[in-house]
A and B are shown apart, each in its own frame.
Chain A
């Protein structure tokens, strides 16, 4: 766990989680992130949105970036700031993300006729999170950085 620096300022706190590239383990990160988000004061529906977006991002990392190689890891970083939670998911990038994957999702009509029902993950992440950015991780893999803003309770 020495690959990430911890130069967090006084108002930033970082939780790191390393998972095996195996479907099902996204649940571990979802539960950890939900616990953190609840503690920060996010409402139940925002916590659910975060869980869903995180599940999609980790599933992409396992299936695409790490190509189901169980020896590879997925790194999830949760950065707590006073007004937002930044969640980044990085894989070890055997397969870089193709620009076509970032384009609009298939239409419902197309999905009825296609054998492959996937392809909605990135669209869903963009719908659920306040900011989404696709970059390259320091390790060279794919990284998705998602931000969810803490709205003040009226």
Chain B
């Protein structure tokens, strides 16, 4: 098995347009796989990262052409932290709506579960302040030893 270094990082920057989140998803998956994460965890991370990028594009950058989404992935030797940053046209509250039952009953729109999904898929996540006013969503995943 590939023995990951003590620390390592990659940075990505994409146009703030729907569809480009797939490029981030593949790059992050490839990085996590190299670091020795189990396939199942890599799949969870892919979904979480896609949701975070979609939020950045749709909400933080309000689907404005010409803006960017920046993604940094830092491995510290035991965990991977992925930060997704937009340019903060709209601030997010970070409020997670847990109304899954309501949505299943059709009493609420099916969209808007991105943050809830992220909280379920990664080991820790939250919002950080950014110096340039953008929203920064961080997601951490610890690496469990492979069976």
A contact set with B: CB distance below 8 Å: 1, 6, 8, 10, 13-20, 22, 24-25, 27-32, 34-36, 39, 70, 78
Contact = CB atoms under 8 A, between A and B. Distances in A.
Given A6-B68, A18-B11, A24 B19 contact: no
A72 to B, nearest CB: 13
Interface in B14-29: 14-15, 17, 19-20, 22-27, 29
B27 A24 contact: no
Main secondary structure of the interface of B (DSSP, over half): mixed
Nearest to B19: A39
B130 to A, nearest CB: 13
B42 to A, nearest CB: 12
Max count, chain B CB within 10 A of own CB: residue among A1, A25, A27? A1
A22 B8 contact: yes
Contacts of B70: 1
Main secondary structure of the interface of A (DSSP, over half): mixed
Contact of B30 (A1, A15, A31, A39): A31
B34 A35 contact: no
Nearest to B25: A35
Given A13-B20, A39-B22, A32 B5 contact: no
B10 interface: yes
A17 B19 CA distance: 17
Given A27-B30, A32-B30, A70-B5, A15 B23 contact: yes
A17 B26 CA distance: 12
B22 A35 contact: yes
A13 B15 contact: yes
A6 B20 CA distance: 16
Contact of B8 (A16, A20, A78): A20
B10 A20 contact: yes
B20 A28 contact: no
16 contacts: A6-B68, A13-B17, A15-B12, A15-B13, A17-B12, A18-B11, A20-B10, A25-B10, A25-B34, A28-B31, A29-B27, A31-B27, A32-B23, A32-B26, A35-B22, A39-B19
B68 to A, nearest CB: 6
Nearest to A33: B23
B102 interface: no
B11 A1 contact: yes
Contacts of B12: 15-18, 32
Nearest to A28: B30
A1 B8 contact: no
B13 A24 contact: no
Contact of B20 (A1, A10, A15): A15
Interface string B31-51: 100100000000000000000
B23 A14 contact: no
A15 B29 CA distance: 17
Interface in B34-92: 34, 65-66, 68, 70
